[in-house]
């Protein structure tokens, strides 16, 4: 087993120097590899004489221990990486992990509210008060524009282009984007501005749209709190957060027939979707996609 330890040490250096992985990533790889090493030691096997059958027995034991499929998939990925290293460094000629199957992992679907549930939540709000109108406007903007909570709390007066039907938000990495806003949300903002224009903002918060009673930008915690309060009053049993309205925004648009590319751009996703087609899509078309398909534009009733 001393030789195995030497190989594992070299693999650690390979991850650090050649793959340039972070310390946390390397620790995760080595932890998973330690599980395999323990199995091999019990079976009196060495790293170099492992077969596909041996690896399948190892994976079966992981399941027997109650390890969930997602974690098993990660361990298999680490083992494949290790044996790829052994091939590259000439320790073995054939890869025993080549036919090792990764478990299928079901997607955990986010909680989504129906339009009726959103109406029910909104109906719990007393809009005759400054706080009530502010809170209703916040929920309407979260849902009508699909914003992240951080984008909502940092929304600025200077980012409102209501006559044009857009707002400018600052997303992850301080990247800005224009988002179409519905007529319903525009009306709520105008209703809120009656109170907002009378409120004195603390220094540095003058351009912030949604203020707390202290005159500073409303906090994420406060938004979480009143959303939970209204949800409970509406007797909705789902676990709801500000992000739930973002999920509902995307889901309802997709169900209504909106272009998936338009939705991805509106959400500010930049994974594999950052291609020419997204950066060159006409903004007028994007606004039409959102306005046409968002349910809040089909029913203006409060």
Active site residue 11: no
Q: Do 73 and 151 sit in the same domain of this protein? A: no
* Interatomic CA distance for residues 35 and 75, integer angstroms: 9
CATH code of the domain containing 226: 1.10.443.10
Among residues 134, 148, 294, 296, the one annotated as catalytic is 148
Last residue of a domain, one of 72, 88, 104: 88
Residue 214 falls within a domain, yes or no? Answer: yes
Active site residue 293: no
Q: Do 13 and 78 sit in the same domain of this protein? A: yes
Active site residue 296: no
* Interatomic CA distance for residues 258 and 241, integer angstroms: 24
Q: Do 6 and 122 sit in the same domain of this protein? A: no
Q: Do 151 and 262 sit in the same domain of this protein? A: yes
Percent helix, percent strand, percent coil in the chain, to nearest 5: 60, 5, 35
Residue 99 falls within a domain, yes or no? Answer: no
Residue 105 falls within a domain, yes or no? Answer: no
pLDDT of residue 278: 26
Residue 106 falls within a domain, yes or no? Answer: no
Full domain range(s) for residue 75: 2-88
Neighbouring CB atoms inside 10 A of 249's CB total: 26
Tokens, residue 107 = 């997607």
pLDDT of residue 64: 73
Cα–Cα distances in angstroms (integers) from residue 29 to residues 26, 91, 112, in the given order: 5, 19, 35
Q: Do 145 and 285 sit in the same domain of this protein? A: yes
Q: Do 79 and 149 sit in the same domain of this protein? A: no
Q: Do 286 and 231 sit in the same domain of this protein? A: yes
Residue 102 falls within a domain, yes or no? Answer: no
* Interatomic CA distance for residues 8 and 30, integer angstroms: 8
Residue 72 falls within a domain, yes or no? Answer: yes
CATH code of the domain containing 46: 1.10.150
Among residues 119, 156, 243, 261, the one annotated as catalytic is 243
pLDDT of residue 270: 63
Last residue of a domain, one of 52, 71, 88: 88
Residue 103 falls within a domain, yes or no? Answer: no
CA–centroid distance for 245 within its chain: 13
Among residues 9, 10, 172, 238, the one annotated as catalytic is 172
Name the pTM for this structure. Answer: 0.59
Q: Give the DSSP H or E segment for 104.
A: none
Active site residue 148: yes
One digit per residue, pLDDT tens: the chain, 302 residues?
556 788 888 989 888 888 888 888 888 889 888 888 888 888 888 888 899 989 988 888 887 777 778 888 889 999 999 999 999 988 889 899 988 888 776 655 668 899 999 999 999 999 999 999 999 999 999 999 999 898 999 999 999 999 999 999 987 777 888 899 999 999 999 999 999 999 999 999 999 999 999 999 999 899 999 999 999 999 999 889 898 898 888 878 767 777 767 777 777 766 433 222 223 334 555 566 677 777 777 655 44
Q: Do 183 and 282 sit in the same domain of this protein? A: yes
Among 214, 208, 226, 215, CA closest to 152: 208
Residue 302 falls within a domain, yes or no? Answer: no
pLDDT of residue 105: 66
Show Cβ contacts of residue 167 under 8 Å, excluding neighbours closer than 6 positions: 141, 145, 155, 159, 160, 161, 178, 179, 181
Q: Do 233 and 170 sit in the same domain of this protein? A: yes
pLDDT of residue 230: 97
Domains of the chain: total: 2
Active site residue 246: yes
Q: Do 132 and 167 sit in the same domain of this protein? A: yes
Active site residue 74: no
Q: Do 132 and 58 sit in the same domain of this protein? A: no
Q: Do 165 and 286 sit in the same domain of this protein? A: yes
């Amino acid at each position: 087993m001393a030789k195995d330890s030497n190989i594992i040490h070299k693999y650690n250096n390979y991850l650090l120097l050649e793959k340039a992985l972070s310390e946390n990533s390397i620790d995760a790889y080595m932890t998973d590899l330690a599980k395999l090493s323990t199995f091999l030691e019990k079976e009196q096997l060495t790293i170099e004489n492992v077969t596909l059958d041996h690896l399948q027995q190892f994976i079966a034991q992981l399941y027997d221990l109650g390890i969930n499929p997602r974690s098993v998939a990660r361990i298999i990925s680490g083992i494949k990486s290790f044996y790829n290293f052994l091939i590259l460094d000439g320790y073995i000629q054939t890869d025993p992990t080549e036919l090792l199957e990764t478990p299928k992992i079901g997607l955990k679907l986010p909680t989504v509210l129906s339009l009726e549930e959103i109406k029910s939540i909104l109906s719990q709000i007393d809009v005759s008060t400054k706080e009530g109108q502010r809170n209703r406007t916040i929920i309407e903007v979260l849902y009508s524009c699909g914003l992240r909570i951080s984008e909502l709390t940092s929304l600025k007066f200077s980012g409102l282009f209501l006559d044009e039907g857009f707002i400018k938000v600052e997303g992850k990495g301080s990247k800005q984007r224009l988002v179409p806003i519905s007529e319903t949300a525009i009306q709520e903002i105008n209703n809120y501005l009656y109170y907002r224009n009378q409120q004195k903002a603390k220094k540095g918060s003058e351009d912030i749209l949604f203020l707390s009673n202290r005159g500073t930008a409303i906090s994420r915690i406060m938004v979480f709190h009143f959303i939970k309060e209204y949800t409970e009053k509406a007797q909705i049993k789902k676990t709801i957060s500000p992000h739930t309205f973002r999920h509902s925004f995307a889901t309802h648009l997709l169900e209504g027939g909106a272009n998936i590319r338009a939705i991805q751009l509106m959400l500010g996703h930049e994974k594999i979707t950052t291609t020419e087609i997204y950066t060159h899509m006409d903004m007028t078309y994007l606004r039409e996609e959102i306005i046409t398909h968002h349910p809040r534009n089909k029913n203006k009733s409060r």
